[in-house]
């Protein structure tokens, strides 16, 4: 077993390999010191340093369509705290590793289920992706320009924010509850519901009359000239987010916005014309020149960095927010802890790398393991 440190040291997680949000949840737990064993469907004897979501995990390759493979998973559950799966509803049950089977093996097990639509409802069995889920939650409707279709915000809002992070939150809630009740339970995470919760502030503002149920006309959706990104003279971009009066006053001073037309910050009818004027001003200098003038001030400013630039920004370097491992640039584990700080994650293991070690820890002897290999249970 690999040595671990971090606030989740001692937590044992079984992750049935999937795509996107479930592995991200496992990565978050592994980053914080949990022992995460990823069960993949096929071994591959090659390094995969680019598989960032697999960092810090161990990997075993098991044929889940075999009785012995199912028995192996249930045996893992006996000593685990958590199991994560991201199948369509009913698939885990058909394989023989659904909640009933796994909680029978370990009544204290927390069984985390990750889907887009949820485990029930009219859409539960339909295929879908992040974009579909955030469309149903109301999140996508507000993203983009008013005269164009909504723009996908990568797959951050559904898969990772509304999905993986809500699953991690649910797991830790359940871990706390189990410490008192001694009982396991099933967590049903829907990316529709997770992304809807991310929109809570907009729903509150809409109820108060402060948010219009339209795209590109509100304070935080790119309509305001003091809360947007702008192109610079060198074809790069900066962001300005001077919402509060004191920050807005500083913005006016730094950009020379002295004319009376800028006095009424929240006159929405004037926002388009004033945005054009601010854009023309920003175009007069390069991104680095704007950084020199505005960075570290209370204008609420930051340059728009590309993914290849983030490592070398002075703030990110100071905070060690990113690192390179085997030539792969990746974000560091977050958040930071004052006392139980996690170590830098181990590089991703290749699929099936830990077959023998994990089974030996479960009590399988050499003959047992060789038989599982020979019969295609370990693949």
In 3D, which of 98, 13, 19 has the Cα closest to residue 64?
A: 98
Q: Find the catalytic residue in 31, 159, 221, 354.
A: 159
Q: Cα separation of 262 and 279, whole Å?
A: 14
Q: Find the catalytic residue in 129, 141, 188, 368.
A: 129
Under DSSP, is residue 41 helix (H, G, I), strand (E, B) or coil? coil
User: Do residues 215 and 276 lie in contact, with contact meaning Cβ atoms separated by under 8 Å?
Assistant: no
User: Do residues 57 and 349 lie in contact, with contact meaning Cβ atoms separated by under 8 Å?
Assistant: yes
In 3D, which of 160, 157, 89 has the Cα closest to residue 118?
A: 89
Helix runs in 88-189, H state only: 91-95, 99-105, 130-137, 165-181
To the query of whether residue 159 is one of the catalytic residues in this protein, the response is yes
Strand boundaries in the chain, DSSP class E: 12-16, 35-40, 58-61, 82-85, 110-115, 185-190, 227-231, 237-241, 301-303, 322-325, 328-331
Q: Alpha-carbon Rg of the chain, whole angstroms? A: 25
To the query of whether residue 200 is one of the catalytic residues in this protein, the response is no
- The length of the chain is 379
- CA–chain centroid gap for 209, Å, is 31
Catalytic machinery residues: 129, 159
């Amino acid at each position: 077993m690999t040595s671990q440190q971090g606030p989740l040291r001692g937590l044992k997680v079984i992750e049935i390999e999937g795509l996107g949000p479930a592995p991200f949840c496992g990565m978050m737990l592994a980053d914080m010191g949990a022992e995460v064993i990823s069960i993949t469907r096929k071994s591959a004897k090659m390094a995969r340093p680019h598989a960032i979501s697999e960092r810090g995990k161990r990997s075993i390759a098991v044929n889940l369509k075999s009785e012995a493979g199912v028995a192996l998973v249930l045996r893992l559950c006996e000593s685990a705290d958590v199991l994560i799966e991201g199948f369509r509803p009913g698939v885990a049950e058909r394989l023989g590793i659904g909640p009933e089977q796994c909680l029978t093996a370990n009544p204290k097990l927390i069984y985390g289920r990750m889907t887009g639509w949820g485990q029930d409802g009219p859409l539960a069995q339909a295929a879908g992706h992040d974009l579909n889920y955030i469309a149903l939650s109301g999140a996508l409707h507000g993203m983009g320009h008013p005269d164009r279709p909504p723009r996908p915000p990568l797959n951050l809002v559904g898969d990772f924010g509304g999905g993986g992070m809500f699953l991690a939150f649910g797991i830790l809630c359940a871990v706390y509850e189990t410490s008192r009740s001694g009982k396991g339970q099933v967590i049903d995470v829907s990316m529709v519901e997770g992304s809807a919760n991310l929109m809570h502030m907009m729903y509150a503002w809409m109820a108060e009359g402060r948010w219009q149920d339209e795209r590109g006309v509100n304070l935080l959706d790119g309509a305001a000239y003091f809360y947007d990104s702008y192109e610079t003279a060198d074809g790069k971009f900066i962001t300005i987010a001077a919402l509060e009066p004191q920050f807005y006053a500083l913005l006016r001073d730094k950009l020379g916005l002295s004319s009376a037309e800028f006095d009424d910050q929240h006159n929405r009818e004037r926002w388009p014309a004033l945005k054009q004027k601010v854009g023309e001003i920003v175009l007069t200098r390069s991104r680095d020149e704007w950084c020199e003038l505005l960075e570290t001030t209370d204008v609420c400013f930051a340059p728009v960095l590309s993914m290849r630039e983030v490592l070398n920004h002075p703030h990110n370097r100071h905070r060690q927010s990113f690192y390179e491992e085997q030539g792969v640039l990746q974000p560091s584990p977050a958040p930071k802890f004052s006392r139980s700080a996690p170590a830098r994650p181990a590089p991703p293991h290749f699929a099936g790398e830990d077959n023998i070690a994990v089974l030996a820890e479960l009590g399988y002897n050499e003959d047992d393991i060789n038989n599982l290999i020979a019969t295609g249970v370990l693949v």
